Structure formats: C-alpha cells, structure tokens
Amino acid sequence: MNNTIFTGKNVIVQGITGSQGTFHTRNMVAYGTHIVAGTSPNKAGSKIDEIPVYSSVKDIQKEFTVDISVIFVPAAFAKAAIFEAIDAEVPLIVCITEHIPVHDMLAIRRRLYGSSSSSSSVLIGPNCPGVLVPSKHLLGIIPARLATPGDTAVVSRSGTLTYEAMDLLTKAGFGQKYIIGIGGDMVRGTGFIECLEMFERDPEVKRIVMIGEIGGTDEVAAGHYIRDSVTKPVYAYVAGHSAPVGVQMGHAGAILGTNSLESAGAKTEYLKNSGATVADSITQLISKIT
C-alpha cells in the first residue's frame, strides 16, 4: 500500500444523497476535502450543496479523474457499490457502511485479491470510521477537531478508541500523520500489516499507535510483522480484557472464540514479546509514548 493514495486530489461520495452521506459530505467539505461529485442512481442530475450527483462512478469519470471514493451506501447495496468502485479502478475506496453480510465481503475480497481478478484498488473498511490525514483529507466520519498534524501514525479496529487516542495524543503534544480505522468486521479490506508496512516506509512517521480488539488473530500476525520488519516504536493496546467467551462485544469481529490467541491478554503478551510497548488501557498507553 502506497501512502500517496491517501492524498489523491479528487474525492467522490457513493450514496451522497442519503442522510448519512449528505451529513458527512458537508463535514468533509468543511474540513477541506475536495469532493467533486457523488452517486445516487435515482437522483442523478441533482446537486448537494453544488456538488453534482451522477448515476454511477463511470459517469463521474467522464467528467473527473476519481482518486478516492467514500461509500455511505446501505448494507444491502454496499457490495454492488464496492464492486462498482473496484471495476472503475478507483485507487482508494473507503467504506463506512455497517452490517455488510460476511458472504458479500468474501466476494469483495475475491474481486480485490483473487488470482484471476486481482485489483489495484485499496479498500479501507467496511464498518469503519474512515481515514484522516490531518490538515489534508477527512475521508469518513472521524471527528477531525480532535486531531493535529504531526508524525504519529494510528491504525485501529475500534472507532471510539481511535477518537480517544487522537484526543490523548493531541493533548500530549504528539500530532498525527495518519489515522486509519480499518474496521471491526471479521472480513474486511486493508488490515494491520498493510498499514504497518506503509508507516514503516514513510520517513515522516516517527512512531506508531496500534489499537486491536478481541476476536481473530490479526494482532498476532501484526506482532510477527512488527518483530521482523518494523524498526519504529510501536505502542499497542488490545481492547476487551474482561470479555466473556462467545459473546459479541460491539463489532461483528469482536467475538472471543476458543482459540487461546484471540483473547486481549494473549494478544497483548504476544505484541509485547514482539517488541511493542503495551498497556492495559488507552490512557496508560498514550502516557508511555516518548
């Protein structure tokens, strides 16, 4: 994953005329994000605050180069919207939509990464708050007022903990270069390792904050990558130390299974042994940053 995809100029919003799409489009524009158009098949030809609405991404591409798409399409239609953006070869796709069926996401991953149909598009999400590059781009629903530009990179499965981390970092004097919410679903696009790889390559990133959750073993795989490939300091927190087995804790992916490596305690210990600085709370974690 190349960091230049996060600074592409022209942004579109798929599902711009829905209540969430319209509300967050206005917030993104107010922050300075350059939104050139949106899609809504039944409202093509209309405008949202002078932003033209088209029937499809391909129709927008007849008028504009599209660098980034932010998706607010309802779950039942999200697979089709993501497929549309992939087929249009949009470099960065940020899907905010919650409750996309697992089978739909499996089909999306096959379209992105399958050997017969590998795509150059990068998908962030779904079920995520999006991406914030402070002073440059707001792509989604992250409360940008909590951030300040700097040299810390944040990658997180949890939206609310992302916001708390931003606020604590800003108050502690550590500005942020990237804030990426990868989402909490069991099947998603970009994961921890792709973000860690990008942060490691970016000379402007001096430290990394990683926020995980119970469920799955992505944090364990990230620990392997940190141990073998990351030279920058990593500060990691895994939420869910008191979670009961088999109960969903918020995100669809935050279910503690029977695998001993899925618990917050096991993941925390693994990340610590991999070289990350760890803590039992996000507040404690940020206090350890130097």
Query: What crossing angle do the helices spanning 264-273 and 218-229 adopt, rounded to 10°?
Result: 10
d(CA 119, CA 86): 7
d(CA 139, CA 180): 10
The verdict on whether 251 is a catalytic residue reads yes
Cβ distance 278 to 246 under 8 Å? no
Tokens 């999400």 sit at which residue? 125
Task: Please classify residue 28 by burial: count the beta carbons closer than 10 Å to its beta carbon, then call 0-12 exposed, 13-18 middle and 19+ buried.
Answer: buried
Task: Please classify residue 242 by burial: count the beta carbons closer than 10 Å to its beta carbon, then call 0-12 exposed, 13-18 middle and 19+ buried.
Answer: exposed
Q: Where are the alpha helices (DSSP H) in the chain?
A: 19-31, 57-61, 75-87, 102-113, 159-172, 192-201, 218-229, 264-273, 282-287
Point out the catalytic residue in the list 24, 34, 103, 251. 251
Interior angle at CA 158, CA 88 and CA 178, nearest 5:
60
CA torsion sign, 148 to 128 to 211 to 282? Answer: positive
Pull the structure tokens for residue 57. Answer: 């991404």
Cβ distance 214 to 262 under 8 Å? yes
* Secondary structure letter of residue 144 according to DSSP: G
Residues 6 or more apart whose Cβ sits within 8 Å of residue 228: none
What positions carry a catalytic annotation?
251
